[in-house]
Amino acid sequence: MQSKEKQPPIFTRCGVRNVDSDAIEHFRIEGIVLMENAARGSVDVIKDLCSKDELQHVIVLCGAGNNGGDGYAIARHLHNRGCRVTITPIAPPKTPEAITNANITEKMGIPFILFKEDIFEDATLIIDAIFGTGISEEIRGPALRIIPFLHRCNVKIISIDIPSGLDCDSGHPLGIAVKADLTITFVGLKQGFMQDSASKFLGSIAVVDIGCPQELIKKYALPNT
Protein backbone atom coordinates (compact mmCIF):
# COMPACT_ATOMS: atom_id res chain seq x y z
CA MET A 1 0.00 0.00 0.00
CA GLN A 2 1.13 3.54 -0.60
CA SER A 3 2.78 5.54 2.16
CA LYS A 4 0.64 7.58 4.56
CA GLU A 5 1.75 10.84 2.94
CA LYS A 6 0.33 9.66 -0.37
CA GLN A 7 -2.63 7.66 0.89
CA PRO A 8 -5.41 7.68 -1.70
CA PRO A 9 -8.86 9.09 -0.92
CA ILE A 10 -11.35 6.80 0.79
CA PHE A 11 -14.91 6.24 -0.41
CA THR A 12 -18.10 4.67 0.86
CA ARG A 13 -20.21 2.55 -1.48
CA CYS A 14 -22.47 5.55 -2.06
CA GLY A 15 -19.52 7.86 -2.63
CA VAL A 16 -17.86 5.76 -5.31
CA ARG A 17 -21.23 5.21 -6.99
CA ASN A 18 -21.73 8.98 -7.09
CA VAL A 19 -18.29 9.50 -8.61
CA ASP A 20 -19.17 7.09 -11.42
CA SER A 21 -22.67 8.42 -12.03
CA ASP A 22 -21.63 12.09 -12.01
CA ALA A 23 -18.70 11.37 -14.32
CA ILE A 24 -21.14 9.80 -16.76
CA GLU A 25 -24.14 12.12 -16.38
CA HIS A 26 -22.56 15.53 -15.77
CA PHE A 27 -19.11 15.24 -17.35
CA ARG A 28 -20.36 13.04 -20.21
CA ILE A 29 -17.61 10.47 -19.81
CA GLU A 30 -19.03 7.26 -21.23
CA GLY A 31 -19.19 4.34 -18.83
CA ILE A 32 -17.39 2.18 -21.38
CA VAL A 33 -14.50 4.67 -21.30
CA LEU A 34 -14.22 4.40 -17.51
CA MET A 35 -14.28 0.61 -17.82
CA GLU A 36 -11.58 0.70 -20.48
CA ASN A 37 -9.39 2.93 -18.29
CA ALA A 38 -9.93 0.57 -15.36
CA ALA A 39 -8.97 -2.45 -17.44
CA ARG A 40 -5.86 -0.92 -18.96
CA GLY A 41 -4.68 0.31 -15.57
CA SER A 42 -5.36 -3.09 -14.01
CA VAL A 43 -3.36 -4.91 -16.66
CA ASP A 44 -0.45 -2.51 -16.18
CA VAL A 45 -0.44 -3.46 -12.48
CA ILE A 46 -0.79 -7.17 -13.26
CA LYS A 47 2.10 -7.11 -15.72
CA ASP A 48 4.26 -5.19 -13.25
CA LEU A 49 3.55 -7.38 -10.21
CA CYS A 50 3.20 -10.86 -11.70
CA SER A 51 5.99 -13.08 -12.96
CA LYS A 52 6.04 -14.61 -16.43
CA ASP A 53 5.25 -17.97 -14.87
CA GLU A 54 2.15 -16.53 -13.19
CA LEU A 55 0.93 -15.22 -16.56
CA GLN A 56 1.13 -18.57 -18.37
CA HIS A 57 -2.61 -19.30 -18.01
CA VAL A 58 -4.89 -16.65 -16.56
CA ILE A 59 -8.48 -17.55 -15.69
CA VAL A 60 -10.82 -14.57 -15.38
CA LEU A 61 -14.07 -15.18 -13.50
CA CYS A 62 -16.72 -12.66 -14.59
CA GLY A 63 -19.99 -11.81 -12.88
CA ALA A 64 -23.08 -10.25 -14.43
CA GLY A 65 -22.47 -6.59 -13.61
CA ASN A 66 -19.84 -3.99 -14.33
CA ASN A 67 -17.27 -5.79 -12.19
CA GLY A 68 -17.64 -8.65 -14.63
CA GLY A 69 -17.39 -6.11 -17.44
CA ASP A 70 -14.04 -5.02 -16.03
CA GLY A 71 -13.03 -8.68 -16.10
CA TYR A 72 -13.92 -9.10 -19.77
CA ALA A 73 -11.96 -5.97 -20.67
CA ILE A 74 -8.98 -7.10 -18.58
CA ALA A 75 -9.07 -10.48 -20.31
CA ARG A 76 -8.92 -8.72 -23.69
CA HIS A 77 -5.89 -6.63 -22.76
CA LEU A 78 -4.07 -9.61 -21.26
CA HIS A 79 -4.75 -11.58 -24.44
CA ASN A 80 -3.43 -8.68 -26.53
CA ARG A 81 -0.25 -8.70 -24.45
CA GLY A 82 0.41 -12.33 -25.22
CA CYS A 83 -1.12 -14.12 -22.22
CA ARG A 84 -3.15 -17.28 -22.52
CA VAL A 85 -6.53 -16.34 -21.08
CA THR A 86 -9.69 -18.29 -20.29
CA ILE A 87 -12.92 -16.50 -19.36
CA THR A 88 -15.28 -18.23 -16.94
CA PRO A 89 -18.63 -16.39 -16.82
CA ILE A 90 -20.44 -16.96 -13.53
CA ALA A 91 -23.62 -15.39 -14.94
CA PRO A 92 -24.53 -13.81 -18.29
CA PRO A 93 -23.50 -10.13 -18.56
CA LYS A 94 -26.37 -7.73 -17.84
CA THR A 95 -25.09 -4.16 -18.05
CA PRO A 96 -24.47 -2.51 -21.44
CA GLU A 97 -20.75 -2.12 -20.76
CA ALA A 98 -20.36 -5.72 -19.63
CA ILE A 99 -22.30 -7.01 -22.65
CA THR A 100 -20.13 -4.94 -25.01
CA ASN A 101 -16.88 -6.23 -23.54
CA ALA A 102 -18.13 -9.82 -23.41
CA ASN A 103 -19.07 -9.61 -27.10
CA ILE A 104 -15.65 -8.19 -28.02
CA THR A 105 -13.75 -10.92 -26.21
CA GLU A 106 -15.93 -13.60 -27.74
CA LYS A 107 -15.31 -12.24 -31.26
CA MET A 108 -11.58 -12.23 -30.51
CA GLY A 109 -11.75 -15.96 -29.92
CA ILE A 110 -10.83 -15.88 -26.24
CA PRO A 111 -12.19 -19.15 -24.78
CA PHE A 112 -15.38 -18.96 -22.70
CA ILE A 113 -15.71 -22.01 -20.46
CA LEU A 114 -18.40 -22.39 -17.82
CA PHE A 115 -17.10 -23.13 -14.35
CA LYS A 116 -15.82 -26.61 -13.74
CA GLU A 117 -12.97 -27.57 -11.48
CA ASP A 118 -10.78 -29.29 -14.05
CA ILE A 119 -10.17 -26.12 -16.09
CA PHE A 120 -8.15 -24.80 -13.15
CA GLU A 121 -5.67 -27.70 -13.22
CA ASP A 122 -3.08 -25.68 -15.16
CA ALA A 123 -4.17 -22.21 -14.04
CA THR A 124 -1.29 -19.96 -12.98
CA LEU A 125 -3.33 -16.86 -12.03
CA ILE A 126 -6.98 -16.31 -11.11
CA ILE A 127 -8.68 -12.95 -11.59
CA ASP A 128 -11.78 -12.41 -9.49
CA ALA A 129 -14.26 -10.11 -11.24
CA ILE A 130 -17.43 -11.70 -9.87
CA PHE A 131 -18.93 -9.06 -7.55
CA GLY A 132 -18.05 -5.40 -7.12
CA THR A 133 -18.67 -2.73 -4.50
CA GLY A 134 -22.42 -2.62 -5.10
CA ILE A 135 -23.23 -5.93 -3.45
CA SER A 136 -24.58 -5.65 0.11
CA GLU A 137 -26.52 -8.89 0.61
CA GLU A 138 -25.17 -12.30 1.55
CA ILE A 139 -23.65 -14.29 -1.28
CA ARG A 140 -25.98 -16.80 -2.91
CA GLY A 141 -25.93 -19.04 -5.94
CA PRO A 142 -22.91 -20.58 -7.67
CA ALA A 143 -20.41 -18.27 -5.94
CA LEU A 144 -21.09 -20.10 -2.68
CA ARG A 145 -19.24 -23.15 -3.99
CA ILE A 146 -16.89 -21.38 -6.40
CA ILE A 147 -15.22 -19.09 -3.86
CA PRO A 148 -14.12 -21.89 -1.47
CA PHE A 149 -12.83 -23.85 -4.45
CA LEU A 150 -10.64 -20.91 -5.54
CA HIS A 151 -8.97 -20.95 -2.14
CA ARG A 152 -8.06 -24.61 -2.62
CA CYS A 153 -6.33 -24.01 -5.96
CA ASN A 154 -3.08 -22.70 -4.43
CA VAL A 155 -2.87 -20.13 -7.23
CA LYS A 156 -2.44 -16.37 -6.84
CA ILE A 157 -5.79 -14.56 -6.82
CA ILE A 158 -6.20 -10.95 -7.93
CA SER A 159 -9.51 -9.29 -7.08
CA ILE A 160 -10.80 -6.44 -9.21
CA ASP A 161 -11.99 -3.36 -7.28
CA ILE A 162 -12.87 -5.44 -4.19
CA PRO A 163 -12.66 -9.11 -3.22
CA SER A 164 -15.97 -10.65 -4.23
CA GLY A 165 -18.24 -10.93 -1.22
CA LEU A 166 -16.48 -8.32 0.93
CA ASP A 167 -18.79 -5.52 2.03
CA CYS A 168 -17.49 -2.20 0.72
CA ASP A 169 -18.51 -0.21 3.80
CA SER A 170 -18.17 -2.59 6.75
CA GLY A 171 -15.18 -4.64 5.60
CA HIS A 172 -16.98 -7.82 6.68
CA PRO A 173 -17.62 -10.79 4.38
CA LEU A 174 -21.18 -11.18 3.17
CA GLY A 175 -21.27 -14.76 4.38
CA ILE A 176 -18.21 -15.63 2.32
CA ALA A 177 -15.59 -13.61 0.42
CA VAL A 178 -12.60 -14.17 -1.82
CA LYS A 179 -9.24 -14.09 -0.05
CA ALA A 180 -7.13 -12.22 -2.57
CA ASP A 181 -3.37 -11.96 -2.77
CA LEU A 182 -3.77 -8.58 -4.48
CA THR A 183 -6.73 -6.22 -4.77
CA ILE A 184 -6.68 -3.73 -7.64
CA THR A 185 -9.17 -1.05 -6.67
CA PHE A 186 -10.43 1.93 -8.63
CA VAL A 187 -10.58 5.68 -7.87
CA GLY A 188 -9.50 5.25 -4.23
CA LEU A 189 -9.61 2.99 -1.21
CA LYS A 190 -12.94 1.80 0.11
CA GLN A 191 -14.16 2.50 3.64
CA GLY A 192 -14.30 -1.19 4.50
CA PHE A 193 -10.62 -1.64 3.65
CA MET A 194 -9.75 0.29 6.79
CA GLN A 195 -11.29 -2.34 9.07
CA ASP A 196 -9.21 -5.10 10.65
CA SER A 197 -11.77 -7.64 9.45
CA ALA A 198 -10.91 -6.86 5.81
CA SER A 199 -7.17 -7.40 5.96
CA LYS A 200 -7.20 -11.17 5.43
CA PHE A 201 -9.28 -10.76 2.27
CA LEU A 202 -7.48 -7.87 0.59
CA GLY A 203 -3.86 -8.94 0.32
CA SER A 204 -1.78 -6.12 -1.13
CA ILE A 205 -3.67 -3.14 -2.54
CA ALA A 206 -3.05 -1.17 -5.73
CA VAL A 207 -5.16 1.87 -6.61
CA VAL A 208 -5.84 2.58 -10.29
CA ASP A 209 -6.89 5.98 -11.64
CA ILE A 210 -9.71 5.49 -14.15
CA GLY A 211 -9.90 9.10 -15.31
CA CYS A 212 -12.68 10.48 -13.12
CA PRO A 213 -12.46 14.27 -12.68
CA GLN A 214 -10.62 15.37 -9.55
CA GLU A 215 -13.58 17.63 -8.75
CA LEU A 216 -15.65 14.51 -8.15
CA ILE A 217 -12.92 12.79 -6.16
CA LYS A 218 -12.76 15.74 -3.79
CA LYS A 219 -16.54 16.06 -3.61
CA TYR A 220 -17.34 12.47 -2.72
CA ALA A 221 -14.30 11.18 -0.80
CA LEU A 222 -14.62 10.90 2.96
CA PRO A 223 -13.45 14.07 4.73
CA ASN A 224 -9.73 14.40 5.47
CA THR A 225 -8.74 11.68 3.00
Report yes or no on 131 lying in a domain.
yes
What is the extent of the structural domain holding 24?
8-220
- Give the tens place of pLDDT for each residue, 64-104: 999 999 999 999 999 999 999 999 999 999 999 999 999 99
- Give the tens place of pLDDT for each residue, 185-220: 999 999 999 999 999 999 999 999 999 999 999 999
Report yes or no on 177 lying in a domain.
yes
CB burial class (10 A; 0-12, 13-18, 19+) of residue 47?
middle
Is a pLDDT exceeding 60 seen at residue 2?
Answer: no
Number of domains in the chain: 1
Report yes or no on 3 lying in a domain.
no
> What one-letter code names the amino acid at 122?
D
Looking from the CA of 5 toward its CB, the CA atoms found within 13 Å total 0
Report yes or no on 225 lying in a domain.
no
Q: Would you state the pLDDT for residue 51?
A: 96
Report yes or no on 213 lying in a domain.
yes
**pTM: predicted TM-score of the whole model, two decimal places:** 0.95
CA 25, chain centre distance (Å): 23
Report yes or no on 133 lying in a domain.
yes
- Give the tens place of pLDDT for each residue, 124-135: 999 999 999 999
For 2, 9, 216, 225, the CA distances from 5, given in Å and listed in that order, are: 8, 11, 21, 11
At residue 165, the 3 state secondary structure works out as coil
Report yes or no on 1 lying in a domain.
no
Tell me phi and psi for residue 30, to 5 degrees.
Answer: -60, 140
Domain of 131, CATH number, reads 3.40.50.10260
Report yes or no on 149 lying in a domain.
yes
